[in-house]
Every structure is written in C-alpha cells, then in structure tokens.
Amino acid sequence: MSAKFENQVAVVTGGSTGIGFAIAKALLDEGARRVYVTGRSAKTLDAAVTALGERAIAVVSDVAELSELQKLKSTIEQQGDVLDVIFANAGIAEYNRFGETVEAEFAKTFDINVKGVFFTVQTLLPLLKDGGSVVLTASIVANKGMENLSLYNASKAAVRSFARSWANDLKGRKIRVNALSPGLTRTPIMENGLKWDAEQLAGLASYAAEVVPLGYVALPEDIAAAALFLASDDARYVNGVELTVDGGFTQI
C-alpha cells in the first residue's frame, strides 16, 4: 500500500458491513491512525472492528438520531482527535410502491438517507480540519428513477445535491465535498433492505453481464477504492462532483 492516509483520522458512518466496512479497511491499510466506524447494531459493529483491528473504534450510532450524532462527536473529542475525512456513508434501500406508500416509509428513508447525512456532516464539521475532505455516498439511482424505489432515488438525489451546496458553503475553509455514486454492488443491503431471495441474487450476475459494459457486479472494495481517491490528495482539485462507479452502466 502507498500509505496515502498515514497518520490521518477518519469517520465512516454505516461502516460495519458492505461499502462502509471496505472503506474503513482500505483507510487502515493505507496507514490511517484511527478510523471511527459507526452502525446501529452493536453486535455487527463489534464484529467489524474486531476484524479491522485496534486502530478502529466502534461507536453505536443511528445517524437519524441527533443525540447519537452528538455522542459520536463527544467520543472523538474525548480522544483528542481532529478529523481529516468524513465519509457520510450510512443509508438504507427499501422498496416502496407509489400510490401505496405510507408516511412511515417516507420518514424512515429520508430520516436516515437525507437528514442523517446532513446532520452527520454538520455535527462533525467543527472537528474537521481546514482543507479536509467529505465524501458522501449517493447512488446511480439519483439519475435512473428505478421502479418502486422513488423514495430511495429521491433521497440519493438530495445527497448528490448536498455535495454541490457544501462545496460552495465550505469554500472558505478549503474543505472539499464530493459524492460517490455506486452502481450494481454486492452488499448486505440486497438481503436486509431490498429483501432479495437467492434466485434474485443469482440473477444479478446475469443481468450485469448484459447491461454493464464491464460485465460484472462490483464488490465493496471496488467502490472503496474510488471513495479513497476522492478523499486523498490525488483528488485535491476535485470538488463538488459526482463520481459514478458503475462499470459504465449509466453511461450507455
């Protein structure tokens, strides 16, 4: 590894599985001094930090709850850390049928995916160093309008919009804010959120072979590599963008 994040401190929300876990692992492999990893399940989070090692710190935190974001901030302050990077990655994906969607479904998706991202970054902003970086996990669905996913699609469009606005809002501190939009990626959200069965999961590879120019479904590590690029000095003049990482799926 190149140690591009040597001695740096980062936060990865939703870091116990999937893309978030892959980001945290890559940061540590690249020399990060400390990575705070958040999640809603203490059991899953503990397993994650055990795998990540002693430089990872688990903080049970629901990004939809402002009091828990304050707890995350306090934990970092107690360690005396200043943040180099914030990865606002936590989010959910659940189907909703337009015409049958109830208020509770709307609130759940927007509380986690939009309110959670907004207040994660706002709460931790005082701890982020000038010249630091924020990476927001959006999705290609913000531009695709996937069927029966209107809440998820719209929530990720809001996340992409935050990157533009905050790049402007934070220009005085030279903080870069970018959005990362994964395409088809094999993560636990398919089982836990979308409730896909074994047959649907098996069919994903065949679907990707037809519609993705590169012909396969991404692994979390593929997305994490792009996330680290956006956070690193390699992207020092990249600001306010949406980096689509989908093997060409939305480009043809």
- Annotated catalytic residue, options 95, 152, 207, 216: 152
Residue 238 to residue 240: CA distance in whole angstroms: 7
Helices 150-169 and 103-110: angle between axes, nearest 10 degrees = 30
Q: How many CB atoms lie within 10 A of CB 68?
A: 17
Question: Residue 185: which of 150, 221, 145 has the closest Cα?
Answer: 221
3-state secondary structure of 187: coil
Residue 167 to residue 165: CA distance in whole angstroms: 6
DSSP readout, 11-44?
Answer: EETT-SSHHHHHHHHHHHHTT-SEEEEEES-HHH
Contacts of 192 (CB under 8 A, 6+ apart): none
Per the annotation, the verdict on 152 as an active-site residue is yes
Contacts of 26 (CB under 8 A, 6+ apart): 221, 224, 225, 227, 228
Half-sphere exposure of 69 (CA within 13 A, CB side): 24
Residue 175 to residue 239: CA distance in whole angstroms: 9
Contacts of 28 (CB under 8 A, 6+ apart): 35, 52, 53, 55, 56
Q: Which residues are catalytic?
A: 152
